[in-house]
Structure 1
Amino acid sequence: MSESNFTLDPRLQADTQHVVSLGLSDVLLMNDARFPWLVLVPRRAGLVEICDLPADEQATLWQEANHAAQALRAVAPFDKLNLGALGNIVRQLHVHVVGRREGDAAWPGPVWGSGRALPYDEGSLGRLMLRLRGELER
């Protein structure tokens, strides 16, 4: 499990924008304006499951997910937080941090596989990225 051999899965790379790097994880913004949605990816090669991380890094991952959730709530308030580490399509270990609003495009079902993504326009994406970076770098 080495950071030096880490590469981001091409599907995650295609669907997200890099926001910031935390101690263990890269924080990515899912490019779907329908939902406030971050993805944390530990910079470790070959990981599939959370239990593949050593115990101290498991704790760090959950601390970073909590930090990401607080940052997301500060910039895009939501009614309910969804956390998930599914990996059925993208096997590389990653944790979804999704803010849900009653009546959103997938409510009350899961966001995964719900309709077609609505990419951010350039201006909205830039503003959101700046706000998220400000919150996450605290």
Structure 2
Amino acid sequence: MLTGKKTGFELDGRLEADSEHVMWLGLCELRAMNDRRWPWLVLVPQRPGIEEVHDLTPLDQAMLTFETNLVAQGLKKATACAKINTGALGNIVRQLHVHVIARNEGDPGWPGPVWGHGLREPYRPSDLHRFSETIRTSL
């Protein structure tokens, strides 16, 4: 695991405002979305100017797939959820980022997507810190 961000990499301000740093992976910064309705993680490849998966080099594409799978497995282990949703939409925040979301029957919006469902419900700071620590431990 890395100790900090790569030179030239700048996180989109909206991602920074809506999420909290969890840890650095080999390619990505792992962040927790500050919405307690769903255990929700975001991987952001540390490559400047990248908007699409196909903009990455083939090696970075493979690394993104590996890290996404690693995070999905860790989130499933940590939450015992019924389903993991993974997606890279980027319609509003153009910087490439991959959402990994734990879902359960009966959660807000089930079985629909989380995007556009109600208003965000931020964690209490101590709960967000605890969630981030649980994820670090599961990885």
Aligned match for 1:106, one of 97, 106, 109: 109
CA distance in 2 between counterparts of 1:27 and 1:68 reads: 9
SS in 1 for 2:109: coil
Aligned match for 2:123, one of 120, 123, 138: 120
Count of matched residue positions in the alignment of Structure 1 and Structure 2 = 134
CA distance in 2 between counterparts of 1:97 and 1:111 reads: 11
TM-score scaled to structure 1, two decimals? 0.93
CA distance in 2 between counterparts of 1:48 and 1:128 reads: 28
SS in 2 for 1:102: coil
Aligned match for 1:92, one of 92, 95, 100: 95
**What is aligned with 2:68?**
65
Q: Which runs of 5+ in 2 are unaligned?
A: 1-5
Displacement of 1:123 in angstroms is 2.5
SS in 1 for 2:11: coil
Aligned match for 1:135, one of 128, 132, 138: 138
Moved more, 126-135 or 59-68: 126-135
SS in 2 for 1:17: strand
Residues 42, 94 of structure 1: 8 Å contact kept: yes
CA distance in 1 between counterparts of 2:15 and 2:40 reads: 13
Q: Which runs of 5+ in 1 are unaligned?
A: none
**What is aligned with 1:31?**
34
Deviation readout 1:44-91 (Å, 9 max, x if unpaired): 000000000011110100110011011111221211111101000000
Letter paired with 1:94: H
Displacement of 1:29 in angstroms is 0.3
- In the TM superposition, structure 1's runs of 4+ consecutive aligned residues that sit over 3 Å from their partners are none
TM-score scaled to structure 2, two decimals? 0.93
Letter paired with 2:30: V
Letter paired with 1:54: T
Aligned match for 1:47, one of 42, 47, 50: 50
